[in-house]
Structure 1
Amino acid sequence: MGRKRDRFWDYAEDLKGHFKCNYCKHEFPGGASRIKSHLAGVKGHDIRICDFVPEDVQKEAYEATQGTNKKLKNASISSSDKGSTIPSTSISTIPKEKIVTQSEEEHIDEIVLDDVVGRLVTKAFSLATKDIIFKWGFKEELESLFDSLYKIKVVLHQKRQVSDESVRKWLMELRDVAYEVNNVLDEFDYEIIRQKVQIQSQMIDELALVLEQSC
């Protein structure tokens, strides 16, 4: 069964490795994740914000980039209801009122971010198995991305006892790193498609030349 088409392609024209925004009519490299960031007004690596996107579409895209969805929220609430808490710290200098468990919203963000990073690891591994990546000399870049992703996974699974404000800031920083990694992987994917098209075009031209000379 094929992968379900992302709904945000309804707002852009698929140009095979590029997309053309239906609102501002500009073309950009990348796929669905770039479309969401473009429409949501999320600044990132080589992403231009759309100035003509309707407010409802912009809101929808922004929520999608934040990774919020009902299924994950229910899973988080269910986990909280079962009484899952963070172990207490042994540092006596921290006031008792400051030692808190993660709030429901933080649980949701952590679960969502963990899922996002897991998908990015899968995406990076898929690209790493393609011989063309090594021919272009991108091996070191991909290894660096793998290292960053696994570090995020390790930190997410560590139970830390900190204030709500610190947790929120920490999760936001990790989320920004994850989105940046996703943008880089999109560029790798686009470059693979571009190179394949270029190679096929050269082969067709060479074949046409051979046929022409043989006539």
Structure 2
Amino acid sequence: MLGRMSADPSPTAPPRRAPAGAAVLREDVTDAIRTAVFEELAAVGYARMSIEGIARRAGVGKTAVYRRWKSKLALVLDLVSAVATEGLPAPATGSLYGDVRALLEVAAHALRHPVASQVVPDLLVEATRHPEIADAIKAALLDGQHGVAAVVVRDAVARGELPEGTDVDRALDLIVGPLYWRLVVVRSALPAGYLDGLAVSAVAALRA
């Protein structure tokens, strides 16, 4: 632990000094950098984004960025992972329709986030050239959603609402796929009652 006193019980033993550069990172600076990443990605895209541009937009030196992340890739992937972990735990409403409707509500909120609407599509293009980006996006986005869908399917099977062996990947495609298409690809607003109708359709498809 930094700043811990020497183990020597002698009253004359001086306290250890924290090594140079061990100062606590300021959270307001970290937040400013993260905001700058969003703005820089929206302005120039991932390929043209640079640590210099991020630092300039955040009003900090490049050193402040490199103290927190070793590269622009590490920075962006950390941001994607942080956003992907936001939201509610797996729904437990007591019915398949209720769980699907709740999952759609969470997914709609997440897909309206700037990471989904601006950053992720750009990263998916980069992922075709950089396997590490593809792996990180899968871990940050797909794996988490897959875990939630697995709980929804498991509970529905236990209640007798879905047959044994229902495919979790197919369930996730049926539930979230149309919403992703509407909000991220087409970029169209959701009319009143859209999530209710989509939940009904998804449940019917899962039972088919």
The TM-score normalised by the length of structure 1 is 0.33
How high is the TM-score relative to the length of structure 2? 0.33
Q: By percentage of residues, which structure has more strand?
A: 1
